[in-house]
Structure 1
Amino acid sequence: MDTIFALATAQGKAGVAVIRLSGPRAYHAASLLAGSDLPVRGLSVRQLKDTRGVPLDAGVVLTFAAPASFTGEDVVEFQIHGSLATTEAVLRCLGDLDGLRLAEPGEFTRRALENGKMTLPQVEGLADLIDAETEAQRKQAQAILSGALGELAESWRAKLIRAAALLEAVIDFADEEVPTDVSPEVRELLTGVRSDLEQEIAGVRIAERIRTGFEVAIIGPPNAGKSTLLNMLAGREAALTSEVAGTTRDVIEVRMDLGGLPVTLLDTAGLRETGDLVEGMGIALARRRADSADLRVFLTEDIAAMGVTRQPGDLHVLPKADQRPAAENAVSGITGQGVDQLVQQISAVLKTRSASAGIATRERHRIAMKSALDALERTSAVLESGPDLYDIAAEELRTAIRALESLVGRIGVETLLDEIFASFCLGK
Structure 2
Amino acid sequence: MNVRDAMLAKFQQRKSGYSLDREFYIDPDFYKQDMENIWYRDWLFVGHDCELPKAGSYITMQVGDYPVLVVRDGQKNIRAFHNSCRHRGSRICSAAKGTAAKLVCPYHQWTYELDGRLLFARDMGADFKPAEFGLKPIHCETVAGYIFVSLAEAPMNFQPVRAMVEPYLAPHRLTEAKVAFEMTIVENGNWKLTWENNRECYHCAGSHPELCRTYPEAPGATGVDAHDDPEIAEHWQRCEAAGLPSKFVMDQLGQFRTARMPLLRDAVSYTMSGKAAVSRPLSDTVLMPKIGTMLLFHYPSTWNHVLGDHAVSFRVLPKGPTETEVTTKWLVHKDAKEGVDYSLDEMTKVWIATNDQDRRIIEENQIGILSPAYRAGPYSAVHEGGVIQFVEWYCDFMARRLRGDRMPHLAEVA
TM-score range, shorter-chain basis?
under 0.3
TM-score, normalised by the number of residues in structure 1:
0.23
Query: Which has the greater radius of gyration?
Result: 1
- Structure with greater strand percent: 2
Q: Name which structure has the greater RCO, CA cutoff 8 Å, separation 6+.
A: 2
